[in-house]
Amino acid sequence: MEHEGRLKAALADRYTIEREIGRGGMATVYLAQDQKHERQVAVKVLNPELAQSLGAERFLREIKTAANLTHPHILPVFDSGEADCFLFYVMPYVEGESLRSRLAKEKQLPLEDAIRITREIADALASAHRKGVIHRDVKPANIMLEEGHAVLADFGVAHAVAEARDERITRTGTSLGSPAYMSPEQATGEKDLDGRSDQYALGCVLYEMLAGQPPFAGPTGESVVRQHLTAQPPSLNQLRPSIPAGIAAAVTQALSKSPADRYRTTAEMAAALALTTTPVHPRMPWGTRWFVIPAALVGFVILIGVGVWSLLGNRAPRVSRPGQMAQLTFDPGLEVDPAISPDGNWVAYVWWPEWSPDGTKIMFQASGAIYVIPALGGVPPQRVVDRPSSGVTEPSEPSVSGAGSATWSPDGSQISYTVSDTIFLASSDGSGPREVAIDFEPHSLRWSPDGSRLAFVSGNELYVLGTAHLANGAPSAIRVLSLTDGSLVTQTDQERVYQSPLWLPSGDRLLFLSNEGGARDVYEVQLN
Cα 177 → chain centroid: 23
Question: Bigger pLDDT: 167 or 71?
Answer: 71
Residues in the chain: 528
Q: Helix, strand or coil for residue 378? A: coil
Per-residue CA distances from 511 to 80, 287, 470, 507 (Å): 42, 40, 23, 11
Q: Which residues are annotated as catalytic?
A: 137
User: What is the DSSP track for 316-359?
Assistant: PPP---TT--------TT---S-EE-TTSSEEEESS--EE-TTS
Spatial distance between the Cα atoms of 346 and 302, rounded to a whole number of angstroms:
10
Of these ranges, 232-236, 369-373, 410-414, the one predicted with the greatest mean pLDDT is 232-236
User: What is the DSSP track for 23-47?
Assistant: E-SSEEEEEEEETTTTEEEEEEEE-
Q: Average pLDDT of 157-180?
A: 55
Dihedral Cα 294, 295, 298, 302, nearest 10 deg: -50
Q: What share of the chain is helix, strand, coil (3-state, %, to 5)?
A: 25, 25, 45
The per-residue pLDDT for 447 is: 93
C-beta atoms surrounding 209 within 10 Å = 24
Per-residue CA distances from 361 to 77, 355, 441, 476 (Å): 44, 6, 28, 33
Q: Average pLDDT of 216-226?
A: 90
Of these ranges, 3-7, 205-209, 482-486, the one predicted with the greatest mean pLDDT is 205-209
For residue range 472-496, list pLDDT tens digits in order. Answer: 456 788 999 999 999 999 998 877 7
Residue 425 parent element (H or E): strand 422-427
Of these ranges, 206-210, 353-357, 441-445, 492-496, the one predicted with the greatest mean pLDDT is 206-210
Q: ∠ CA(346), CA(348), CA(349), 5° rounding?
A: 145
Q: Which residues contact 175 (CB under 8 A, 6 or more apart)?
A: 25, 221
Q: Average pLDDT of 225-236?
A: 94
Instruction: Give me the sheet containing 382-385, strands edge to edge.
Output: 354-355, 361-366, 369-374, 382-385
Q: Which residues contact 424 (CB under 8 A, 6 or more apart)?
A: 385, 388, 392, 416, 417, 418, 433, 434, 435, 436
Of these ranges, 31-45, 168-182, 279-293, 386-400, the one predicted with the greatest mean pLDDT is 31-45
Spatial distance between the Cα atoms of 368 and 113, rounded to a whole number of angstroms:
24
Is 171's pLDDT higher than 70?
no
